[in-house]
């Protein structure tokens, strides 16, 4: 058994047992035409997903991060008044 046969059988087993829907459909297709169509659909939609992911990351990184911290020391701190109400008659 040659290297190309090992690779092809490994990829075929992976395609049939994976939970990735597009590849699963490629693995279960019987005719070459259906395998080709499912592979084109899978590659196209995977490329579109990667394009949208890169676009979202670039849009996120486009905005600057603005963080300012100001420390101020005061001589005293205001403490609110407390009133205790007795509910007993």
pLDDT band at 82; cut points 50, 70, 90: confident
Span 61-78, pLDDT tens digits? 998 888 888 888 878 777
Considering the domain boundaries, does residue 37 fall inside one?
yes
pLDDT band at 5; cut points 50, 70, 90: confident
Considering the domain boundaries, does residue 84 fall inside one?
no
Give the pLDDT score at 44: 94
Nearest to 28 by CA among 13, 8, 46, 7: 13
Rounded Cα distance between 38 and 15, Å, is 12
Question: Does the pLDDT of residue 58 top 90, yes or no?
Answer: yes
Taking residues 45-68, report their average pLDDT: 92
Q: How many domains does the chain have?
A: 1
State which residues form the domain around 20.
3-62
Mean residue pLDDT across the chain: 84
Nearest to 20 by CA among 3, 2, 4, 43: 43
């Amino acid at each position: 058994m040659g290297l190309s046969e090992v690779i092809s059988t490994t990829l075929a087993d992976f395609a049939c047992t994976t939970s990735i829907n597009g590849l699963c459909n490629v693995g279960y297709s019987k005719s070459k035409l259906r395998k080709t169509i499912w592979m084109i659909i899978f590659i196209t939609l995977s490329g579109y997903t990667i394009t949208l992911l890169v676009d979202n990351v670039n849009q996120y990184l486009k905005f600057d991060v603005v963080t300012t911290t100001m420390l101020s020391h005061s001589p005293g701190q205001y403490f609110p008044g407390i009133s205790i109400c007795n509910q007993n008659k």
